[in-house]
């Protein structure tokens, strides 16, 4: 299924024209104001399928019609086909992002051919439901992992002791020439002639 077909299928399903069975009264069509340039196109008021729904009788929340994975797939396909403005806002995409996408998108009529009029599934929809956008610290700079935290997570041991190791390495390198010279002198005193067999003490025990 192409990206555009996936978005089209989603819109038709929500408008109640996708299933062959008689659809339930899930969409209420209301005309736009006369001042609008699209006053002949009806606006469907539909519950946002990307948001959970509160049952007023039981006081319990029902999960959204589309899971987060399904929402992510739809958003990805909408971006590919340039139809992001046709999706409702949800946890995976905010209303601000959709508004920016609508301003940038150019929905050409060739994409949505219909007999004598615009394709019905492209009609304007008013998505009902309150969308509470969470403000994520560090999202604006692209670093959400450590934003608002006083210290880094545990990490690897080499990461935790990296600063201490660097200081010790710098200290050793500072006196490295002197230490190399002392090392060579020590072994030169012990074995002036390295090719000769080593001298053994008189009281040394034999290996047999």
- Give mean pLDDT, residues 8-26: 66
Q: Which domain holds residue 97?
A: 3-128
What is the spatial distance between Cα 42 and Cα 56, in angstroms, rounded to a whole number?
A: 29
Q: Are residues 119 and 184 in the same domain?
A: no
Q: Is residue 115 part of a domain?
A: yes
Q: Which carries the bigger pLDDT value, residue 15 or residue 161?
A: 161
The verdict on 105 and 183 lying in the same domain is no
User: Residue 122: inside a domain, yes or no?
Assistant: yes
User: Residue 135 pLDDT > 80, yes or no?
Assistant: no
Distance in angstroms (rounded) separating the CA atoms of residues 83 and 65: 20
163 and 106, same structural domain?
no
Count structural domains, the chain: 2
Q: Do the domain assignments include residue 136?
A: no
In this structure, the answer to whether residues 45 and 95 fall within a common structural domain is: yes
Instruction: Looking at the structure, tell me whether residues 120 and 27 fall in a common domain.
Output: yes
**Cβ distance 89 to 95 under 8 Å?**
yes
Q: What angle do CA 110, 37, 131 make, to 5 degrees?
A: 85
What is the model's pLDDT at position 118? Answer: 62
Where does residue 9 rank: exposed (0-12), middle (13-18), buried (19+ CB within 10 A)? Answer: middle
Could you tell me which residue, 22 or 180, shows the higher pLDDT? Answer: 180
Domain presence at residue 198: no
Task: Quote the pLDDT of residue 31.
Answer: 42
Same domain? For 70 and 168 the reply is no
Average pLDDT value for the chain = 79
For residue 169, is pLDDT > 90?
yes
167 shares a domain with 106: no
Question: Residues 119, 163: one domain?
Answer: no
- Total residues found in the chain within this entry: 208
Average pLDDT on 136-142 reads 74
Percent of the chain with pLDDT over 90: 29
Do 36 and 110 lie in one domain? The reply is: yes
pLDDT of residue 36: 42
Residue 25 lies in a domain: yes
In a domain, 28, yes or no: yes
DSSP string over 31-58: EPPTTSTTTTSEEEEEE-TTS-EE-TTT
- Quick one: 34 and 80 in the same domain? yes
Rounded to whole angstroms, how far apart are CA atoms 18 and 121?
A: 10
pLDDT number for residue 32: 40
| Same-domain status, 64 and 162 | no
Write down the pLDDT at residue 154. Answer: 80
At 141, phi and psi to the nearest 5? -105, 0
Write out pLDDT tens, residues 24-68.
Answer: 544 444 444 444 444 444 566 889 999 999 999 999 999 999 999
What's the N-to-C CA distance of the chain in angstroms?
A: 85
Question: How far is Cα 85 from Cα 87, in angstroms, rounded to an integer?
Answer: 6
pTM of the model as a whole: 0.55
120, 169: one domain: no
In a 10 Å sphere around its CB, with 0-12 CB exposed, 13-18 middle and 19+ buried, how is residue 13 labelled? middle
**Beta carbons of 124 and 32 less than 8 angstroms apart:** yes
Residue 171 domain-assigned? yes
Q: Is residue 166 one of the residues assigned to a domain?
A: yes
Q: What is the pLDDT of residues 69-120, one digit of tens each?
A: 999 999 999 999 888 888 999 999 888 888 888 888 765 555 566 545 567 7
Q: What pLDDT, on the 0 to 100 scale, is given for residue 112?
A: 62
């Amino acid at each position: 299924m192409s990206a555009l077909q996936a978005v089209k299928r989603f819109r038709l399903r929500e408008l109640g024209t996708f299933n062959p069975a008689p659809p339930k009264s899930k969409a209420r069509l209301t005309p736009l104001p006369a001042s609008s340039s699209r006053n002949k196109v009806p606006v469907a008021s539909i519950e946002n399928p990307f948001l959970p729904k509160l049952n007023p009788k039981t006081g319990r929340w029902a999960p959204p019609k589309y899971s987060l994975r399904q929402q992510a797939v739809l958003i990805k396909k909408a971006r590919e086909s340039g139809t992001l403005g046709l999706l409702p806002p949800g946890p995976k995409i905010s209303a601000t992002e959709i508004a920016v996408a609508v301003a940038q998108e150019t929905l050409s009529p060739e994409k949505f051919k219909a007999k004598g009029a615009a394709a019905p599934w492209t009609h304007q929809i008013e998505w009902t439901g309150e969308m509470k956008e969470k403000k994520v610290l560090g999202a604006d700079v692209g670093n959400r992992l450590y934003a608002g935290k006083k210290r880094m997570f545990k990490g690897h041991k080499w990461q935790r002791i990296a600063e201490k190791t660097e200081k010790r390495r710098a200290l050793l390198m500072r006196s490295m020439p002197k230490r190399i010279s002392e090392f060579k002198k020590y072994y030169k005193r012990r074995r002036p002639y390295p090719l000769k067999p080593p001298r053994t003490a008189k009281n040394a025990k034999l290996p047999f």
